[in-house]
Amino acid sequence: MALMLVATFSYAVKMDADALSEKKTVAEQASTSVPDGKAIYELNCANCHELWERNIGPAMVGVENRGPWKNRKNLFAFVRNPLGTFKQWAYTKAMVKEYNDQLMPAYPQLTDADMKAVFDYLKTATKKKSKRK
């Protein structure tokens, strides 16, 4: 009987350890979750860039279909350092001129994962229906 009790206790301890391990894995996954592209856009971009319309800066939806932005490497470099990169491309030089020689601020704090999340969000953004009749 004592042997059966020890075996049962050992099995129960192993089950609890496995459950704890699974919980830790879920917590670890939550702490390394994918950035929220919409939230990053709203915090960093929305003041100057509307989704669908021109504002202080160009509309954001479709940005990856324009100029050098077809290559995300170029887009990420521009977001991190507009002043240091805009002269590389005729598209960005013309854009700066179009916006009265205004250049967006740099966002060096945004990681590749942050920017990927934003530009992936922009691909899924839907136009809201107008409330006007």
Residue 21 lies in a domain: no
Report the CATH number that the domain containing residue 69 is assigned in CATH. Answer: 1.10.760.10
At residue 31, the pLDDT reads 41
The per-residue pLDDT for range 51-99, each reduced to its tens digit, is 999 999 999 999 999 999 999 999 999 999 999 999 999 999 999 999 9
What is the pTM for the complete model shown? Answer: 0.69
Instruction: Show Cβ contacts of residue 86 under 8 Å, excluding neighbours closer than 6 positions.
Output: 78, 92, 93, 95, 96, 103
Number of independent structural domains in the chain: 1
Mean pLDDT value across the chain: 80
With H, G, I as helix, E, B as strand and everything else as coil, classify residue 23.
helix
Residue 95 lies in a domain: yes
Residue 22 lies in a domain: no
Domain boundaries, position 78: 34-124
At residue 52, the pLDDT reads 94
Residue 18 lies in a domain: no
Per-residue pLDDT at 113 exceeds 80: yes
